[in-house]
Amino acid sequence: MIEFRGVSKTYPGSARPVVKDLSFEVLDGEICVLVGPSGCGKTTSMRMINRLIEPSSGEILIDGEPNTAMSGTKLRRKIGYAIQQIGLFPHRSIADNIATVPQLLDWDKARIKGRVDELLELVGLDPGVYRDRYPAELSGGQQQRVGVARALAADPPIMLMDEPFGAVDPINRSRLQDEFLRIQEEIRKTIVFVTHDIDEAIKMGDRIAILKEGGVLAQYDTPEEILTNPTSDFVTSFVGADRILKRLSLTRVSEMELEPANGSGEGLPTLSDRLTVRDALSALMGAGVGRGVVEGEGGRRLLTMEAIEGLTRGARA
Amino acid sequence: MSEFLDVFRRPDFIPLLVTHIELSVVALLLGVLIALPVALAVNRSPTLSAIAINIGNIGRAVPSLALLALAFPLLGFGFATSLVALTALAIPPILINASTGLRQVSPQVMDAAKGMGLSGAQILGRIQVPIAAPIIFAGIRTSAVQVVASATLATFVGGGALGQLIVLGFQRNQPAIQIAGALAVAVLAIITELLFGFLERAFTPKGLRVARKRRGK
Ligand SMILES: Nc1ncnc2c1ncn2[C@@H]1O[C@H](COP(=O)(O)OP(=O)(O)OP(=O)(O)O)[C@@H](O)[C@H]1O
Ligand SMILES: [Mg+2]
């Protein structure tokens, strides 16, 4: 668990803090996304966790211990670190790039080699093909994967990722995001993920910390809560006018509690329960009806407008 | 022609050649031993690096003959005077290239290295030096060629070396000796250039060669 306790940061020579009295907790195994407009202090907040930046006041605890309990370099070897610009070492092979931290930790050669191949597999790069290549021989998306593999190398319980998919085109970004979520299912790391893109935050985050100008925490909650119950005008406008639709994209029809259709489904459109509620709503509206029949593992069930509205109940429209 | 070849058979040719090489090698070595540690030491501070680079640039602007003229009143005639002047000549290109090369490593690479827990010394030794190696070697090559060429002037302060043949030929009005001396220096300079060019390539990490080739395309 990572715990921010009243953390503030004022850069030398600057009058105003860029992070102000930040307090929140990142739970084990969760992805916590820091999101907010440019310059609101996301990167600064993240870099204070592994002490690339020291806070001006307050403290950050990792598993109950202040992160100042050990030296900065020792701390950083225990925390995975991946950044938008990737920063692969151009003179080192892909294998050596990934092996950076294991080498620092003096793992034996066989163990390092095994780990490198395992990680290349994990991020979807064939070890036989890519192990001995150099960064310049990889596409941007492939380098991004290697950056993630490198951050994971010594199996750190915590990962810091600063706009890790920021430099890739939207199609590849979406693929990398999906892949990363699949990997996270397996590895269950505690992740602090920085982005300025609210859609990425909603997709990636188990919990989202929305920061506003001046590094003030505007809201810290699950994506569902932030979309249905934004606590301030700032959050409302930051998440966008389509927040209710975004909320509906977060749930699949199969996850809803619906009445069995029994005989009443006659003449209604049939939908797959794999659809997101948003897509199902779109289909219903397209068909010009207020109800539809969902087919899936739960048998034939009835999807109604009321059931959809139930999902966003409490929303101040 | 035979008159010309005779020059290379003169009893003093080999000793002069040896002195020339000795002078050059020792001056270059001293230059490297002084310039590299300074570049490594100032690397962490942008201000000190800028100062080192500026000193290098000023040093580079001073002609070799002027360096000899400066060293002469202090140290008098002899090998040592030439050596000091040539070492002073060798330092600037190495200092400039090493300081800029080390600082040219991209900030993202530096940030990633630090963020993964490399110590300052590890970042310098494992990341900055290998990435800057081609630039550092290019500086050493420039120095080496300059030193070999300028060692010719050592004869003016009694430092011996192949310049002596050129002066001798001039004094006796024997152009063959003059040309043979000049030719020997030229060949030596070319060999130096080739040798260091080879070293530069040999010490360029493969990943950087690959990157350069890709960029070239
Ligand atoms: N080293 C520094 N010295 C002084 N000011 C800095 C430094 N680093 C960042 N800042 C300032 O602190 C503020 C917050 O920067 P930070 O990089 O944390 O923002 P961010 O939320 O990550 O922004 P972005 O989305 O653009 O990456 C900015 O106004 C920035 O100019
Ligand atoms: Mg940032």
Instruction: Express each pLDDT in A216-233 by its tens digit.
Output: 999 999 999 999 999 999
Q: Could you tell me which residues come within 8 angstroms of residue B36 by beta carbon, excluding any fewer than 6 positions away?
A: B94, B98, B136
Predicted local confidence at residue B1, as pLDDT: 67
Determine the distance separating the centroid of ligand 1 and the alpha carbon of A224, expressed in angstroms. 28
Q: What are A116-138's pLDDT values in tens digits?
A: 999 999 888 999 999 999 999 99
Q: A66 with A126, same domain?
A: yes
Q: Does A166 touch chain B (CB under 8 A)?
A: no
Distances (CA, A) of B110 to A42, A163, A257, B212: 20, 17, 52, 20
Min Cα separation B131/chain A (Å): 6
Q: Is the dihedral of CA B193, B195, B198, B204 positive or negative?
A: negative
Indicate whether A93 and A180 sit together in one domain: yes
Mean pLDDT along residues A18-23: 95
The CATH code of the domain that includes A211 is: 3.40.50.300
Buried b (16+ CB within 10 A) or exposed e, B145-182: bbbbbbbbbbbbbebbbbbbbbbbbeeeeeeebbebbb
Tens-digit pLDDT profile for residues A187-204: 899 999 999 999 999 999
CA A201 to ligand 1 centroid distance, Å: 19
In the prediction, which pLDDT does A316 show? 43
Kindly report, residue by residue over A142-175, the tens digit of the pLDDT: 998 899 999 999 999 999 999 988 877 888 888 8
Domain boundary among A241, A270, A305: A241
**Cα–Cα distance, A261 to A100 (Å, whole number):** 57
Contacts of A136 in chain B (CB under 8 A): 207, 210-211, 214-215
Per the confidence metrics, is the pTM higher than 0.90? no
Domain count of chain A? 2
Contact A280, A303 (CB under 8 A): yes
Mean pLDDT, range B130-147, rounded to an integer: 94
Q: In sequence order, what DSSP letters do the residues of A92-109 get, joined into one string?
A: S-HHHHHTHHHHHTT--H
Same domain, A124 and A265: no
CB spacing of A87 vs B214 below 8 angstroms: no
Q: Which of A55-59, B65-69, B177-181, B185-189 has the lowest mean pLDDT?
A: B65-69
**Do A90 and A134 lie in a common domain?**
yes
A9 and A52 in a single domain? The answer is yes
Residues of A in contact with B112 (CB under 8 A): 81, 83, 86-89, 147
Question: Are A267 and A290 members of one domain?
Answer: yes
Nearest by CB: B108 against A75, A87, A134: A87
Q: Which helix (H) or strand (E) holds B176?
A: helix B175-202
| Ligand in nearest proximity to the CA of A162 | 2
Q: Inspect the interface and report whether the beta carbons of B108 and A135 lie closer than 8 Å.
A: no
**A162 and A198 housed in the same domain:** yes
Would you state the pLDDT for residue B217? 57
Contact A91 B207 (CB under 8 A): yes
Report whether A216 contacts A233 (CB < 8 A): no
> Are residues B131 and A85, on separate chains, in Cβ contact within 8 Å?
no
**Residues above pLDDT 70, as percent of chain A:** 98
- Given a cut of 90, whether residue B117 has pLDDT beyond it is yes
CATH code for the domain in which residue B148 is found:
1.10.3720.10
- Looking at residue A317, its pLDDT comes to 42
The structural domain count of chain B equals: 1
Q: Which of A64-78, B59-73, B161-175, B203-217 has the highest mean pLDDT?
A: A64-78
Q: pLDDT band for position A113 (50/70/90)?
A: very high
Owning domain of residue B75: 2-216
Q: What does the block give as tokens for A199? A: 């859609």
- What mean pLDDT is predicted for residues B165-190? 87
Domain residue limits at A265: 248-315
Given the CA of residue A37, which atom of ligand 1 is nearest to it?
A: 25
Give ion ligand 2 contacts, CB < 5 A. A 43
Q: Are residues A67 and A193 in the same domain?
A: yes
Q: What is the DSSP string of B129-143?
A: HHHHHHHHHHHHHHH
Residue A66 has pLDDT above 50, yes or no: yes
pLDDT(A8) > 80: yes
Pairwise CB contact (< 8 Å): B211 & A100? no
Angle of CA points B215, B216, B217, to nearest 5°: 90
* Interface touch A136/B206, C-beta < 8 Å: no
CATH label of the domain that carries residue A257: 3.90.1280.20
Shared domain for A66 and A173, answered yes or no, is: yes
Q: Which of A75, A83, A136 sits opposite B111 (nearest CB)?
A: A83
Alpha helices (H) in chain A, listed in sequence order? 42-49, 72-77, 94-98, 100-104, 109-122, 127-130, 140-152, 170-187, 198-204, 223-228, 233-239, 243-249, 277-287, 305-311
- In this model, does residue B114 exceed pLDDT 90? yes
Task: Please state the rounded mean pLDDT for residues B164-170.
Answer: 83
| Predicted confidence (pLDDT) per residue in A271-315, tens digit | 888 889 999 999 998 888 888 888 888 788 889 888 888 888 755
Where does a domain end: A215, A241, A267? A241
Residue of minimum CA distance from atom 22 in ligand 1: A43
**Average pLDDT over chain B, rounded to an integer:** 88
Closest in A50, A78, A91 to B115, CB measured: A50
Check whether residue A144 and residue A293 sit in a common domain. no
Output the DSSP codes for A267-306: T--EEETTSBHHHHHHHHHHHT-SEEEEEETTEEEEEEHH
C-beta A212 within 6 A of ligand 1: no
**Based on the domain organization, do A199 and A263 belong to the same domain?**
no
Q: Examine the domain organization and report whether A256 and A236 are in the same domain.
A: no
Q: What is the pLDDT of residues A200-220, one digit of tens each?
A: 999 999 999 999 999 999 999
